Structure 1
Amino acid sequence: MTDDRHPTDPISTTTGQDAVREAIETGFPSTIADLCDLVRIPSVSWPAFDQAHVHTSAEAVAELFRGLGVFDEVRITQAPVADGETLGNPAVLAARPARNGAPTILLYAHHDVQPPGDSEEWESAPYEPTVRGDRLYGRGAADDKAGVMAHVASIRALVEAYGTDFDLGLAIFIEGEEEAGSLSFAHFLEQNRDALAADVIVVADSGNWDLETPALTVGLRGNVAFRLTVRTLSHAVHSGMFGGAVPDAMLAMVRLLATFHGEDGSVAVSGLTGRDADTPEYPESQLRSESGLLDAVSPIGHGSFLSRIWTQPAITVTGIDAPSVGNASNTLLPSVAVRVSARIAPGQTATDALAVLTEHIERNTPFGAEFAIDKVELGDPFLVDTSGWAVTEAKAAMADAWGREAVDMGIGGSIPFIADLVHVFPEAQILVTGVEDPDSRAHSPNESLHLGVYKRSVLSEALLLDRLNARTDRSR
């Protein structure tokens, strides 16, 4: 069959979408191969790990975007953190201007990953990508190197369909320190405001409802994290000599932490607020299956299960500095430190929540013990405005790719930097998407990516780019 179109004639929307679909399908093995190459780089951004790997990862990501042939320049850059002297981790930045009235879309993901955790809990090596059944296992396979590759594969498909001469404006921001608190994020935005300015921002760092149903994340809890230290003694003493009369720091800390929750396990800190919102049906059986809750263990909290995760606060102690059981001695500990991680419901700022938590700790620290709070991290919650045209386009693309309508979903986790995006780009429409499913186990051993979910997620983004490329009026 011959093609009678003149080379400069526009490809019809239907033909373009068909070409995009074909490009995603035929290019999927290459997408997975490139993703595996990224997973092999142990780009843990925590300070205790070798940061050379994060730089190697940034170079690899930059080469992928350079290979697309659509950007005049793809560069790796760093911005200072809050102290103004230390540089944050390397991020990849690229941009191309829109033409003929088309919008510009900013594609965000991050190339850094969480630490591997206990290697004995992994069924395969964390940095050796391994396919078992329908899933690709490896640290970063889902969170968020798959998000990086979703952007690369989507632009590749657009190039396959239209060549490099399309109208859609593109901006790329692949961060290198999201898992370490995005400490230079605000400065990075300010330094690169012009290059990153966009009508639509896609944050590819979330998930989907299940293996067959796409989701658009419309609500995120904020976070307040800090180190809490309790001290009762100027030095350690023998527990047999003074136990029973002198309170040790562990006793004081345990009693203090117990005041964070009520009898049903719900947060009991006065002043931490929740938010009323309708939630989809989510039975206890689904909660147990997706979380791995043991059969004999009861869920905690009150209200619908999803309200407990999406729209109510939560407090977790994520670490403790104290002697291990193997190193335990008969000693009254003078001080104990814990890491407290609080999730804040939409409608309350992180600054207000920190003040409330500090007041609670001051009021409930027993025995007159001293306490100190430091190493504070704050991130505000976020609610997506679903009234804009970008949400309509994104949901249409998801329905076309998945064959099923998208669910509006909340997330119990936090993406604090979205508040920075809103501050710097208040007119931009923000879409929070993702490639994960409920069993991806991001941050945990055996993190994985469902390949079927991933292909549909990548196709969703590619079809979204195609739809935006066809727009000639950015205002509607």
Structure 2
Amino acid sequence: MNAPDRHLPLADFVDRAWDERIVPALTDYIAVPAKSPMFDADWQAHGHIERVVQDAVAWVESRRVPGLAIEIVRIPGRTPVIFFEVAATGAATDTVLFYGHLDKQPEFSGWRNDLGPWTPKYVDGLLYGRGGADDGYAIYAAVTAIEALKAQGTAHPRCVGVIETCEESGSHDLPAYLDALKPRLGEVGLVVCLDSGAGNYDQLWLTTSLRGMVSGVLKVEILTEGIHSGDASGLVPSSFRILRQVLDRLEDARTGQLLPEFFHCEVPASRVAQAQATAAILGDDVWKRMPWVCGADGNLALPTTTDPVEGLLNRTWRPTLSVTGVDGFPELKSAGNVLRPYTAFKLSLRLPPLVDGHEASIRLKALLEDNAPYNARVSFVPDGRAGALGASGWNAPELPVWLEDALNAASNTHFGAPVGYIGQGGTIPLMSMLQAGFPKAQMMVCGVLGPKSNAHGPNEFLHVPYAKRLTAAVAQVVAAFR
């Protein structure tokens, strides 16, 4: 690896911008509990989303970037979107579209005693708190990248930005905004999505695929009210046991493998080859980076596989079920000898990139609800207004030579190492929407969610040194757009 040149004018500009302007702005942003509508039904009354949107727009306006116009776009009854645009100064005729979001996941538990979701703290280059890395930084980094090019007198294409505020709720408002903004977006030739992750903090990482998702609440009801367990158990079947039987239709509890073939797809040979190359870079860090508990024998808990290639494919191209919440259970301190009337689980089913989210949602509902054991009442209710549609994943188009060269050049310049390619297990509904709406567009999907950054969980942090390099690399790729 070569030593990166961090004394280039572009890098110097970006470094100063982060230190002087972006970190303070993100510190204020983290302090605002701008939870996504799925987690804050009264988001309009609370005003937190409005606050972070107004703050971001005011920050951009304060930069007075030549030719850049910004506004808040509103559709009644929907979360707001920020739209910005700046005219081209170079020869490229197509448009670069920047994407990010400002809504956040809820607090979750387990934060260190000196940290909290809404109490930002900047320590040793890490900015802790909810939402800074996922992905409140996006609008600040995107505008800074454009501003840096202008400051260096470097020509750039026309750029537009769409910053939404319901991504963590499945982006259910975004299609309406994309339709409304389509005449203003122009002919999009490159999408720069800043809502993804990185395999390490040592090079630029390009996301090559994203999983889809179906999420919702599975509820099993057997009684109308709780009754004495000594009187009823053995006669009344446990709602929890019934729920286990229903889930056994979907998942092998021993291996975690999803049983219905529909939820699987064949992994393209090119993605297997990329996983092998990425595994050679990351090695056992693929699984060792997780916060494993120490077992009763003193050894750390183990992953589903210690093979780095299989680990990468498991988390990016194979379906997986997670239970992310429960209802119907009293707290342990209040748990008496009562047979509970119902059990409810919040399910998160991650889908391979090539499995259709709409069809998966329909099939999952039928699989879970049909032929209920003991004639219990079993229901699966997908999340959100568009939840019944599911969210389809995304597989990146093949890179043209110019973009592959530009990515490598930017990574070598600002990191001293070539670009890495990695699939991501998360879901960004926008990507499949944009791929369908702009089938000729190339996709630069990247982000700052590297090892231990822990978006959605406790102790989330933004790795500021990496974010600086990423911002400069993005600017360099945008300048190379053709």
Category of TM-score, reference length = shorter chain: 0.7 to 0.9
What is residue 3 of structure 2 aligned with on the other side?
none
Determine the C-alpha separation between the residues in 2 that align with 1:365 and 1:391.
52
Partner deviation per Cα, 1:157-186 (whole Å, 9 max, x = no partner) = 1221129xx552110111111112211110
Q: Which of 365, 380, 383 is residue 392 of structure 2 equivalent to?
A: 380
Determine the C-alpha separation between the residues in 1 that align with 2:334 and 2:404.
55
Q: Does 1:245 align with 2:235?
A: yes
What is residue 54 of structure 2 aligned with on the other side?
59
**Matched ranges for 1:233-382 at <5 A:** 233-262=223-252, 263-276=254-267, 277-278=271-272, 279-280=275-276, 281=279, 285-294=284-293, 295-300=299-304, 304-324=310-330, 325-362=332-369, 365-376=372-383, 377=387, 378-382=390-394
**Matched ranges for 1:157-306 at <5 A:** 157-162=148-153, 166-197=155-186, 198-262=188-252, 263-276=254-267, 277-278=271-272, 279-280=275-276, 281=279, 285-294=284-293, 295-300=299-304, 304-306=310-312
> In the superposition, relative to structure 1, how do residues 41 and 253 fare at CA in structure 2: closer, same or farther (>3 Å)?
same
**1:299: how far off?**
2.0
Partner deviation per Cα, 1:354-403 (whole Å, 9 max, x = no partner) = 23323432467433322112134211010111333444433432232211
Determine the C-alpha separation between the residues in 1 that align with 2:461 and 2:111.
16
What letter corresponds to residue 57 of structure 1 in structure 2? V
What is the root-mean-square deviation in Å for CA atoms of aligned residues? 2.4
Determine the C-alpha separation between the residues in 1 that align with 2:205 and 2:90.
31
**Matched ranges for 1:69-108 at <5 A:** 69-71=65-67, 73-79=69-75, 87-98=77-88, 101-102=91-92, 103-108=94-99
> What TM-score do the two structures reach when normalised by structure 1?
0.86
Determine the C-alpha separation between the residues in 2 that align with 1:319 and 1:358.
18
What letter corresponds to residue 374 of structure 1 in structure 2? V
Partner deviation per Cα, 1:169-207 (whole Å, 9 max, x = no partner) = 110111111112211110010001122232211110111
> In the superposition, relative to structure 1, how do residues 138 and 455 fare at CA in structure 2: closer, same or farther (>3 Å)?
same
Determine the C-alpha separation between the residues in 2 that align with 1:411 and 1:207.
7
Contact 1:97–1:104 (Cα < 8 Å) also in 2: no
> In the superposition, relative to structure 1, how do residues 213 and 234 fare at CA in structure 2: closer, same or farther (>3 Å)?
same
Unmatched 5+ stretches in structure 2:
1-6, 294-298
Contact 1:221–1:345 (Cα < 8 Å) also in 2: yes
Structure 1 residues 207-216 or 128-137, which shifts more? Answer: 128-137
Contact 1:122–1:446 (Cα < 8 Å) also in 2: no
Match of 2:66, SS? coil
Determine the C-alpha separation between the residues in 1 that align with 2:283 and 2:374.
40
Determine the C-alpha separation between the residues in 1 that align with 2:329 and 2:152.
60
What is residue 83 of structure 1 aligned with on the other side?
none
Determine the C-alpha separation between the residues in 2 that align with 1:341 and 1:369.
23
Tell me how many residue pairs correspond in the alignment.
Answer: 445
Identity of aligned residues (%): 25
What letter corresponds to residue 412 of structure 1 in structure 2? G
Q: Which of 32, 40, 43 is residue 47 of structure 1 equivalent to?
A: 40
Determine the C-alpha separation between the residues in 2 that align with 1:442 and 1:205.
11
Unmatched 5+ stretches in structure 1:
1-16, 81-86, 469-473
Q: Which of 415, 422, 428 is residue 415 of structure 1 equivalent to?
A: 428
Q: Which of 449, 457, 461 is residue 444 of structure 1 equivalent to?
A: 457
> In the superposition, relative to structure 1, how do residues 119 and 221 fare at CA in structure 2: closer, same or farther (>3 Å)?
closer
Partner deviation per Cα, 1:210-254 (whole Å, 9 max, x = no partner) = 121221001111101111111222443322222101113222113
What letter corresponds to residue 464 of structure 2 in structure 1? L
